A and B are shown apart, each in its own frame.
Chain A
Amino acid sequence: MHNVATTHEGNKTQYLWVWGALLVLTAIEVVLGYKQVFSAVRMLEALLLLSVIKSALIIGYFMHMKFETALMRWMITASVIACFVIMYFFFFPDAGRIIDLGVK
């Protein structure tokens, strides 16, 4: 293996903190699933919010996106989010229309 001088600003302590935070967030998700304190829609919103936070931690620290150039960060993030937004507007109005039509 070559000794390549690619450096990242992350360190072992930081990675352990991120790992711990991810486990805690997962535990919160499981408790929410068990207790079912929210309605289905509120529950979905809460779980999605926690998932977005967890994915941001993974992308930012474990995948080192936080330490990439601004151009790289924006190109990847913006293009993927734009595609998801387009998918959302294609799929979900139709699924909602079926409910509005009174399908039980």
Chain B
Amino acid sequence: MADATLEHDAVHSLPVSAHGAPGAYEAPLFGGYSKKVGMWLFLASDSLTFGALLFAFSYNRLYTIPWPTPFHVASITNATIMTACLLSSSLTMVLGVMAAQRGDRSGTRNWLLATMVFGTAFIVLHGMEWTKLIGEGLTIPGFPHPAVASSGELAEVSKSAPQFPATFFGLTAMHMLHVTIGVIYLGVVSLRKLFLPILGAIWLAGFLLIPSDNVFHYLIHALLLGLIVASIVLFLKPKDYDAHDVEVSGLYWHFVDLVWMFIFPLVYLMSTRIS
């Protein structure tokens, strides 16, 4: 691949070939290698997806009077810890990129694994928050929920303002999906084929252990889809991921963090019920 043979000088000016012959490759338009420009373009388009969902949430909030405020102190505390997890994961990710650029393979793997741990903690905490809200009656018709949900304190909210659960779950589900994809992406880059049985075991354990009236009993199959895609990538195009790949995966991960910086205040902090 041409990308792997390119080197950049300290200020990202014109690339030179691996043989030191300037001009052997055409200068990139944006001063970066193609994978990075491609990821930036994807992130720009993905930001519009989240922008549309945030606009939909805000639009519904504007015209729905009164807007529900279901988030007690426990929910805000939980969401604050989730935010700290994502911010810390961004730090470990950027340290992983630095290690990759130094050529420190074990350091890169360890920092990426730390990032995955923070990301997984975020998903688990978010799943617990969802389960709590659904148990209190914040439900969407057609989605599985426990029997106690119909008598919960938020059951009335689901009837009087169905826009709230629809936009809340839609927005946060899309973000949770992105975090899940990010963890799988980092697992592929850091562990490669070794990651596949781990992912398969997590999927199977989740499916068997989560009760069938919990929505995650079904959503856990996203991991199976991830396993299939990761297997196709790793078996059909096996490669040794280099510093560029780590940096590009880092761009994706930081974007997931970035989106949460808007979801947390707009969705949680603007709908608090502090009593």
Which positions in A face B, CB cutoff 8 Å? 1-8, 10, 12, 15-16, 19, 22-23, 26, 29-30, 32-34, 36, 40, 43-44, 47-48, 50-51, 54-55, 58-59, 61-64, 67-69, 71-72, 75-76, 79-80, 83-84, 87-88, 91-92, 94-96, 98-99, 103-104
Return the contact of B98 from the options A12, A30, A69, A94 (Cβ within 8 A): A12
Instruction: Determine whether B62 belongs to the interface, using a CB cutoff of 8 Å to chain A.
Output: yes
Q: In the bound complex, do residue A71 and residue B30 qualify as a contact, i.e. CB atoms below 8 Å apart?
A: yes
Flag if A69 contacts B30 (CB, 8 Å).
yes
Find residues 1-45 in chain B having any chain A CB closer than 8 Å to their own CB. 4, 7-8, 10, 12, 29-32, 37, 40, 44
Given A6-B8, A6-B101, A7-B101, decide whether A80 and B90 contact each other with a Cβ distance below 8 A: no
Closest residue to A33 on the B side, CB-wise? B269
Q: How many A-B residue pairs have CB under 8 A?
A: 170
CB atoms of B243 and A4 under 8 A apart: yes
| Least CB separation from A47: chain B residue | B265
Which residue in chain A gives the minimum CB-CB distance to B241? Answer: A1
* B238 interfacial by beta-carbon distance below 8 Å: no
A23, A29, A88, A92: the one contacting B84 at CB < 8 Å is A23
Residues of chain A with a CB closer than 8 A to B240's CB:
1-2
Contact with A along B254-270 (1 / 0, CB 8 A): 11011001101110111
Complex interface residues of chain B between 167 and 194 (CB less than 8 A to chain A): none
| Extra A-B contacts (11), CB below 8 Å, given A33-B268, A99-B65 | A6-B244, A6-B247, A7-B101, A12-B98, A19-B91, A26-B264, A62-B91, A63-B258, A68-B30, A72-B30, A83-B51
Interface check B87, CB cutoff 8 A: yes
1/0 per residue, CB under 8 A from A, across B100-138: the answer is 111101001000000000000000000000000000000
Q: Tell me, rounded to whole Å, the shortest Cβ–Cβ distance linking B25 to chain A.
A: 14
Residue in contact with B76 in the complex, picked from A2, A12, A34, A55, CB distance below 8 Å: A34
Partner of A72, one of B32, B101, B274: B32
B91: which of A16, A29, A98, A99 is its contact (CB, 8 Å)? A16
- B31, A51: Cβ atoms closer than 8 Å: no
Contact indicator B258/A58 (Cβ below 8 Å) = yes
Nearest CB on B from A21, distance (A): 10
CB within 8 A of A26: which of B12, B47, B84, B94? B84
**Chain B residues, CB < 8 A from A10:** 94, 98
Q: With A71-B31, A72-B31, A91-B55 as given contacts, are A3 and B103 in contact (CB-CB < 8 Å)?
A: yes
B242, A50: Cβ atoms under 8 Å? no
Q: Specify which chain A residues have a CB less than 8 angstroms from the CB of B244 in the assembled complex.
A: 4, 6
Minimum CB distance partner of A50 in chain B:
B265
Selected contact of B44 from candidates A6, A8, A67, A79, CB within 8 Å: A79
Chain A neighbourhood of B32, CB < 8 A: 68-69, 72
Q: Does B235 contact A (CB under 8 A)?
A: no
20 A-B residue contacts at CB 8 Å?
Answer: A2-B4, A3-B102, A3-B103, A4-B101, A5-B8, A6-B244, A8-B98, A26-B84, A29-B265, A33-B76, A36-B272, A44-B266, A48-B266, A62-B94, A72-B30, A84-B48, A87-B55, A95-B58, A95-B59, A99-B63
- Tell me if B51 and A98 are in contact (CB < 8 A): no
User: Quick one: which of B61-92 are within 8 Å of A by CB?
Assistant: 62-63, 65, 76, 80, 83-84, 87-88, 90-91
Interface: B222 (CB within 8 A): no
Closest residue on chain B to residue A65 by CB atoms: B40
Q: B8 — which chain A residues lie within 8 A by C-beta?
A: 5-7
In whole angstroms, what is the CA distance A22 to B261 when docked? 10
